[in-house]
Amino acid sequence: MPVLDQSYVTNGSWKPDLFKGKVVFITGGAGSICSVQAEALVLLGADAAIVGRSKEKTDKAAKDIATLRSGAKVLSLPEIDVRSVQSLKKAVDKTVEELGRIDFVIAGAAGNFLADFNHLSSNAFKSVVDIDLLGSFNTVKACFEQLRKNKGSIIFVSATLHYYGVPFQIHVGAAKAGVDALSNALAIELGPLGIRSNCIAPGPIAETEGMDRLSRGKLDEIKHKVPLQRLGTKQDIADATVYLFSPAGSYVTGDVLVVDGGSWQVSQGVGAADYPVSIVKYLNAPKGGKL
């Protein structure tokens, strides 16, 4: 079921039809955060292409999102591997064929799991980098002609993990640091073409798969460590997305918009107090990751 509904338009901060005639191409579009980004854009008039690996999840997300606005066109593009630029190119071609154009790109496909260095294999590390970083590059590469033609805008879904050392997230932190660098370079290179590139870095966002993994059942404790004294919502990320794609963000590029309630300024990671004992335990475990 969608998280947002028509009240997002009638009671929200954004005017109706803000994105009328626009099309968003979003990888990881069936995910807990990216699907809500898509919901907001569709409610505000955009059509959308939902790109994912799982046919069942991608089809369901597209079907649910299409119910949010009368006349909305939401295309399901399942079984797409962001590690393959050719796979993405097929998805782009299908989007242009069905929806006519691409104005906005959200690179949100990501892989994550908890693993300490001792038990993290080289292949597992590479897998996350390939999905998060190479997949982000491939997404923009496949969409580039449409972005150039329509003076489009890109948002990469990043993280704050690489702002400090977060154990058990070496692979993700390295990949997301690369995503930030990629976005910054694209902002400079593509700016003269009228293309903007930015990142959104979510902090502790409630009811997401990542938060469920990292919190280890200590949501109340985590909430009280956030300066704003609450966990983020998926709508918080959706609102940041709308801002960056809207005319209000037309002079913003090469930026990382951190949406975390101030968490990274005061925290050393979710559940950081437990890490020293856990690190010693796992690093001393006899079975390490495969080379």
Q: Tokens representing 12?
A: 């929200």
Choose the catalytic residue: 22, 35, 176, 263.
176
**Does residue 121 have an active-site annotation?**
no
Q: What are phi and psi of 259, to 5 degrees?
A: -120, 85
**Two structure tokens written together for 290:** 């495969």
Give the active site residue among 35, 76, 158, 215.
158
Burial tier of 62 (Cβ tally within 10 Å: 0-12, 13-18, 19+)? buried
Cβ pair 236, 259 in contact under 8 A: yes
Six-digit token string for 232: 């983020």
Q: Is 159 helix (H, G, I), strand (E, B) or coil?
A: coil
Dist. CA 91–CA 260, nearest whole Å: 32
Alpha helices in the chain (DSSP H): 7-10, 34-43, 55-66, 85-99, 122-129, 135-150, 170-190, 209-215, 219-225, 234-245, 263-266, 275-283
CA-to-CA separations, 174 to 129, 205, 230, in angstroms, rounded: 8, 21, 27
Yes or no: say if 163 and 39 are a contact pair by the CB < 8 Å rule. no
Respond yes or no: is residue 176 known to be catalytic: yes
SS3 81: coil
Residues forming the active site: 158, 176
